[in-house]
């Protein structure tokens, strides 16, 4: 399809859920209340690491107003030696993350939960719970967790035959790494560190749950997948999925972190015990201490190249913090670092390191920003050493259609080079970098690229024609950033009607077929695919109905501009039948009109991005400011350009935060010291400029509208792009994030 044929695809239509969201009516997870509802609170560990010898809940249960108390003993037990998976999540870890079992593994780890007639009484009751702790030594940083005498978090974890905090290893190999380096004219090896950063959604986790006497459970909560909520709650409570209805509330940001849950099963157990609907809402402090973030990292990367810039070998070692339970995003760091390049010899190894922090959760292209940060920073040094333009160096080595990626895939019609060229040809890249007007302020420019795998997976849709000839579309994916608007555009295009005649809804687990998570940059890709197939079925029905009315062959009926017409002069002469006409006759002509499709979608090719950024550094204060930012990305097809641009702009600003300011501070007892938005410094409006998205639309041949994923790739290049720009400004390289003022000053002065 190209833009000229399209009436609705690519239009900046007003989103279907917009009016509710600008008037304050949209119902997010914490907005729902129910008659008879009571409130829950979670008791959290005051220690970073401790054995739980016993929990006595007698005193709090006796407090007037308390209706129920639960601990891990009320949850289904998942023995440590047997893995039970739901998607990529292991229930051994999920259950222990929700309520600590043998040990408290981080400060803020949930120990018990109380439901009472008010939130205050519930909080009071939490204080009365007596927990007998045996406090242990803790390990917060990677260095502390992997040293030989480190306190061990889990006795069953073995690495190279020894008890260890290394819970897993991932290795990617291609070619012969030794031979590769032997061939190189130049070898650069550097080590880097990044800090864990929180996803930072503005909506804290919350749910309201109602469990009735006949064992039926209804959950209202915001998540990146109501089916995940149902599946995980079922496993952890033992209630069959058929008895659980998970209703997706509007979601106030997730960025990956809401692909898992913290509260729903706990609230279900409390509701079951108390016989009352239960509401459980996290505070921001709890969000910072006990959810997310993504991994901090320690890595070393070594690149070997020929004098002409051809990279012949790449070796990486990545230690990623998993937090208290296994599962750091190794695949992103280990695979996405070298992934975009055609390198014959690669050895990339990742280690999953346990430490006494909250268990990490997915964050937008999980692990990939870390991998790209180290790779793209070293590429900048390589370009400088070889006196090659950094974009030329990337072009020279970029993967193309048919390249066998180091992580194993053979690339299809990828468009990495196009993103590099787009930046190279953009006026930003050729504009001279002006001197700052103030003294003591230096400016610099940096570039970096990145990629994300993208994903397909299970999706379901239902398209129905209403009796008055309008349309409802239901899909199973929570809408985190405007996906309903894209679906309205696609449906309008296919049916040939005004987009305002279409209402797009997100079904609950009882009203639409299984749909996998909103994650992996998959929702627009996958839901547009199932909606297209459903709409095509509906069109076939409409043509059949018209054919029946006209008593001609369905093949002789065409559907265009929202009406059935005879396909050609031979089909006969009939006045067109509109959607309204056919809907009015639906009953007599064969019944309701509508169709659904449930599918495991495939064909989501990787997404590539290349960014250029200008910064200025105040050498007195060490403050880095972003002045100008241009981000090129191929999205295949922008069904709704505003929301694609929004993904790019939002991802870039998250990257700016990661690069310049965001980090957790811990005290000596292993407690988070900055669990608030005041002290954990995310970018605010005055910290950033306009972000220019350069959205390329090179259609993905494997998708009906040409869509590739868009949501995650924008967070991959910024860390390195900014790191490289700061070097360009100061002439000094940095090997650790964030580039916070004290760190910048130390390097300037040191």
Partner 1 sequence: MAKMHIATTINGEPTEFLCEPHQSVLDVLRNTLGLTGSKEGCGTGDCGACSITLDGRLVCSCLVMAPEVEGRQITTIEGMAQGDHLHPLQQKFLELAALQCGICTPGFLVAAKALLEQNPDPTESEVRFWLAGNLCRCTGYDKIVRAVLETAADMKGAA
Binding site for partner 1 (CB under 8 A): 12, 14-15, 17-19, 21-28, 30-31, 33, 199-204, 250-255, 283-284, 480-482, 485, 642-643, 645-647, 649-654, 676-678, 682-688, 690-691
Q: Count interface residues toward ligand FES (CB under 6 A).
A: 2
Q: How far, CA to CA in Å, does 122 sit from each of 111, 287, 412?
A: 14, 18, 56
Phi, psi dihedral angles at 184 (to 5 degrees): -75, 145
Nearer to ligand FES, 470 or 674 (CB): 674
Across-strand partners of 406? none
Q: In the complex, what is the shortest distance from the CB of residue 442 to partner 1, in angstroms, rounded to a whole number?
A: 22
Strands (E), 181-336: 186-194, 206-211, 217-221, 244-248, 278-281, 297-305, 311-323
Residue 741: contacted member of ligand FES, partner 1, none (CB under 5 to 8 Å, by partner type): none
Element containing residue 287 per DSSP (H, E): helix 284-290
What is the spatial distance between Cα 623 and Cα 742, in angstroms, rounded to a whole number?
9
Neighbouring C-beta atoms of residue 183, cutoff 10 Å: 16
Per DSSP, the three-state class of 466 is coil
Residue 417: contacted member of ligand FES, partner 1, none (CB under 5 to 8 Å, by partner type): none
Nearer to ligand FES, 254 or 366 (CB): 254
Nearer to partner 1, 287 or 349 (CB): 287
Q: In the complex, what is the shortest distance from the CB of residue 480 to ligand FES, in angstroms, rounded to a whole number?
A: 8
- Cα 22 to the chain's mean position, in Å? 24
Closest Cα partner for 638 from 520, 501, 483, 498? 483
**Cα R_g (the chain), whole angstroms:** 27
Nearer to ligand FES, 1 or 202 (CB): 202
What is the spatial distance between Cα 276 and Cα 115, in angstroms, rounded to a whole number?
9
Nearer to ligand FES, 30 or 142 (CB): 30
Q: In the complex, what is the shortest distance from the CB of residue 642 to partner 1, in angstroms, rounded to a whole number?
A: 3
Conformation bin of residue 469: beta by default, left when phi > 0, alpha when psi is -120 to 50: left
Residue 500: contacted member of partner 1, ligand FES, none (CB under 5 to 8 Å, by partner type): none
Number of H helices, E strands in the chain: 21, 30
Hey, what are 594's tokens? 């509508």
Instruction: Let me know if 105 is exposed, middle or buried by CB neighbors in 10 A (0-12, 13-18, 19+).
Output: buried
Residue 651: contacted member of partner 1, ligand FES, none (CB under 5 to 8 Å, by partner type): partner 1
Q: In the complex, what is the shortest distance from the CB of residue 253 to ligand FES, in angstroms, rounded to a whole number?
A: 5
Residue 684: contacted member of ligand FES, partner 1, none (CB under 5 to 8 Å, by partner type): partner 1
Per DSSP, the three-state class of 443 is strand
Nearer to ligand FES, 30 or 626 (CB): 30
Residue 430: contacted member of partner 1, ligand FES, none (CB under 5 to 8 Å, by partner type): none
Q: In the complex, what is the shortest distance from the CB of residue 204 to ligand FES, in angstroms, rounded to a whole number?
A: 10
What is the spatial distance between Cα 740 and Cα 529, in angstroms, rounded to a whole number?
44
Q: What's the number of CA atoms in the CB half-sphere (13 Å) around residue 158? A: 6
Nearer to ligand FES, 251 or 301 (CB): 251
Q: What is the DSSP letter of 214?
A: T
Closest Cα partner for 67 from 274, 269, 280? 274
b/e string for 385-394 if b means 16 or more Cβ within 10 A? ebebebbebb
Nearer to partner 1, 187 or 688 (CB): 688
> How big is the chain, counted in residues?
750
What is the spatial distance between Cα 164 and Cα 351, in angstroms, rounded to a whole number?
11
Residue 623: contacted member of partner 1, ligand FES, none (CB under 5 to 8 Å, by partner type): none
Q: In the complex, what is the shortest distance from the CB of residue 676 to partner 1, in angstroms, rounded to a whole number?
A: 6
Nearer to partner 1, 201 or 262 (CB): 201
Residue nearest to ligand FES (CB): 202
Instruction: Let me know if 627 is exposed, middle or buried by CB neighbors in 10 A (0-12, 13-18, 19+).
Output: middle
Nearer to partner 1, 314 or 478 (CB): 478
Element containing residue 383 per DSSP (H, E): helix 368-386
Residue 444: contacted member of ligand FES, partner 1, none (CB under 5 to 8 Å, by partner type): none
Q: In the complex, what is the shortest distance from the CB of residue 486 to partner 1, in angstroms, rounded to a whole number?
A: 11
Residues 188-227 that bind ligand FES (CB under 6 A): 202
Confirm if 398 and 386 have CB atoms less than 8 A apart.
Answer: no
| Angle (CA) 329 331 334, round 5° | 110
Residue 24: contacted member of ligand FES, partner 1, none (CB under 5 to 8 Å, by partner type): partner 1
The one among 65, 151, 175, 253 contacting ligand FES by CB under 6 A? 253
Residue 218: contacted member of ligand FES, partner 1, none (CB under 5 to 8 Å, by partner type): none
Nearer to ligand FES, 14 or 179 (CB): 14
Residue 14: contacted member of ligand FES, partner 1, none (CB under 5 to 8 Å, by partner type): partner 1
Q: In the complex, what is the shortest distance from the CB of residue 94 to ligand FES, in angstroms, rounded to a whole number?
A: 26
Q: In the complex, what is the shortest distance from the CB of residue 644 to partner 1, in angstroms, rounded to a whole number?
A: 10
Residue 546: contacted member of ligand FES, partner 1, none (CB under 5 to 8 Å, by partner type): none
Nearer to ligand FES, 205 or 272 (CB): 205
Q: Give 734's contacts (C-beta < 8 A, 6+ positions apart).
A: 723, 726, 727, 743, 744, 747
Q: In the complex, what is the shortest distance from the CB of residue 121 to ligand FES, in angstroms, rounded to a whole number?
A: 23
Residue 3: contacted member of ligand FES, partner 1, none (CB under 5 to 8 Å, by partner type): none
Nearer to partner 1, 202 or 665 (CB): 202
Q: In the complex, what is the shortest distance from the CB of residue 212 to partner 1, in angstroms, rounded to a whole number?
A: 24
Confirm if 734 and 726 have CB atoms less than 8 A apart.
Answer: yes
**Should residue 27 be labelled a site residue for ligand FES when binding is judged by CB under 6 A?**
no
Residues at the contact surface with ligand FES, assessed by CB under 6 A: 202, 253
């Amino acid at each position: 399809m190209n833009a000229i044929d399209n009436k609705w695809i690519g239009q900046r239509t007003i989103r279907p859920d917009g009016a509710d969201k600008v008037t304050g009516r949209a119902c997010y997870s914490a907005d729902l209340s129910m008659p008879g509802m009571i409130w829950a609170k979670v008791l959290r560990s005051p220690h970073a690491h401790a054995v739980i010898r016993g929990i006595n809940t007698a005193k709090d249960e006796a407090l007037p107003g308390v209706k129920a108390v639960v601990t891990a003993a009320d949850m289904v037990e998942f023995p440590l030696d047997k893995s039970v998976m739901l998607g990529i999540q292991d229930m051994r870890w999920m259950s222990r993350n929700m309520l600590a079992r043998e040990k408290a593994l981080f400060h803020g780890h949930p120990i018990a939960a109380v439901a009472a007639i008010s939130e205050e009484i519930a909080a009071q009751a939490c204080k009365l719970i007596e927990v007998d702790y045996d406090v242990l030594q803790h390990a917060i940083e990677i260095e502390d967790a992997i040293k030989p005498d480190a306190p061990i978090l889990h006795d069953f974890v073995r690495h190279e035959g020894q008890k260890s905090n290394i819970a897993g290893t991932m290795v990617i190999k291609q070619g012969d790494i030794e031979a590769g380096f032997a061939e190189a004219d130049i070898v650069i090896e550097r080590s880097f560190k990044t800090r864990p950063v929180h996803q930072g959604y503005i909506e804290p986790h919350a749910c309201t749950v109602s469990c009735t006497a006949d064992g039926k459970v209804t959950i209202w909560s915001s998540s990146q997948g109501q089916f995940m909520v149902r599946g995980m709650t079922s496993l952890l409570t033992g209630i069959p999925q058929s008895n659980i209805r998970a209703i997706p509330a509007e979601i106030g940001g997730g960025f990956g972190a809401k692909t898992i849950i913290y509260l729903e099963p706990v609230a279900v157990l409390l509701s079951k015990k108390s016989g009352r609907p239960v509401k459980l809402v996290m505070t921001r402090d709890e969000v910072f201490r006990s959810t997310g973030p993504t991994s901090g990292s320690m890595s070393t990367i070594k690149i070997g190249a020929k004098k002409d810039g051809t990279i012949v070998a790449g070796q990486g070692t990545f230690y990623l913090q998993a937090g208290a339970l296994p599962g750091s995003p190794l695949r992103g760091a280990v695979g996405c670092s070298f992934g975009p390049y055609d390198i014959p010899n690669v050895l990339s190894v990742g280690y999953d390191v346990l430490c006494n922090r909250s268990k990490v959760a997915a964050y937008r292209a999980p692990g990939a920003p870390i991998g790209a940060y180290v790779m793209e920073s070293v590429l900048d040094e390589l370009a400088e050493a070889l006196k090659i333009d950094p974009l030329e160096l990337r072009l020279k080595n970029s993967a193309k259609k048919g390249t066998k990626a180091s992580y194993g895939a053979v690339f299809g019609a990828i468009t990495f080079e196009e993103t590099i060229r787009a930046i190279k040809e953009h006026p930003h890249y050729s504009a001279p970098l002006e001197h700052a007007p103030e003294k003591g302020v230096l400016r610099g420019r940096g570039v970096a690229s990145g990629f994300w795998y993208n994903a397909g997976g299970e999706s379901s849709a239902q398209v129905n024609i209403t009796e008055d000839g309008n349309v409802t579309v239901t899909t199973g994916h929570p809408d985190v950033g405007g996906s309903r608007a894209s679906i309205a555009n696609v449906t309008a295009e296919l049916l040939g009607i005004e987009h305002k005649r279409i209402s797009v809804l997100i079904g609950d687990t009882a009203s639409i077929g299984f749909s996998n998570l909103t994650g992996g940059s998959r929702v627009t890709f996958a839901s547009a695919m199932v909606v297209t197939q459903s709409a095509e079925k509906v069109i076939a029905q409409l043509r059949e109905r018209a054919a029946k009315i006209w008593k001609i062959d369905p093949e002789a009926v065409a559907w265009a501009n929202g009406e059935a017409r005879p396909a050609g002069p031979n089909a006969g002469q009939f006045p067109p039948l509109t959607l309204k006409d056919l809907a009015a006759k639906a009953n007599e002509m064969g019944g309701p009109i509508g169709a659904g499709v449930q599918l495991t979608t495939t064909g989501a090719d990787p997404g590539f991005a290349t960014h250029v950024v200008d910064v200025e550094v105040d050498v007195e204060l060490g403050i880095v400011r972003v002045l100008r930012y241009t981000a090129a990305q191929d999205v295949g097809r922008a069904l709704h350009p505003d929301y694609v641009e929004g993904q790019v702009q939002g991802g870039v600003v998250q990257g700016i935060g990661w690069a310049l300011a965001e980090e957790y501070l811990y005290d000596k007892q292993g407690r988070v010291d900055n669990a608030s938005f005041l002290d954990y410094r995310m970018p605010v409006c005055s910290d950033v400029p306009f972000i220019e998205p350069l959205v390329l639309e090179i259609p993905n041949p494997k998708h009906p509208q040409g869509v590739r994923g868009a949501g995650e790739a924008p967070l991959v290049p910024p860390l390195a792009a900014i790191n490289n720009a700061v070097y360009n400004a100061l002439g000094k390289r940095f090997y650790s994030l964030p580039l916070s003022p004290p760190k910048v000053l130390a390097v300037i002065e040191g």
